[in-house]
Amino acid sequence: MDITTNPLVILAADVASGPVTVWTGNVHVRNIIFSQYTSINDFAQVNQTDGKFFSYLAAAADLESVKDNNVEWARGLVVPHGGITNGQLSIYIR
């Protein structure tokens, strides 16, 4: 996990034992990329710190990176416990 630089990078292992608060306060998210997963059944989820849903990325059939161009403001970012089944999330912020 590296949440000190842009992009913010969170691995599946980081959320295996509990949720990870990636950002507190308001943040403008440019996009989110889900990559390095190994199965068509893998997924990644990002919530806001108030518990509201922000983004869900499902694996592609060809196992290529999946991108969410959500480009909007979030009230903090949290990846919930088990929120990444395999692989990593790269969150690009403004």
Question: What per-residue confidence (pLDDT) applies to 2?
Answer: 80
Say which amino acid occupies 84. Answer: I
Q: What is the pTM of this model?
A: 0.92
**Short-list 24, 4, 2, CA closest to 13:** 2
Q: What's the confidence (pLDDT) of residue 3?
A: 82
Q: How many Å separate Cα 10 from the centre of its chain?
A: 7
Q: Tell me the residue ranges of DSSP E strands in 1-94.
A: 8-11, 20-35, 43-47, 53-58, 66-68, 72-79, 88-93
pLDDT of 92 > 80? The answer is: yes
Tell me how many degrees the CA angle 46-49-54 measures, rounded to the nearest 5: 35
pLDDT tens for 29-85 read 999 999 999 999 999 999 999 999 999 999 999 999 999 987 799 999 999 999 999
**Please, which pLDDT band fits residue 7 given cuts at 50, 70 and 90?**
very high
Question: What CATH class is the domain 8-93?
Answer: mainly beta
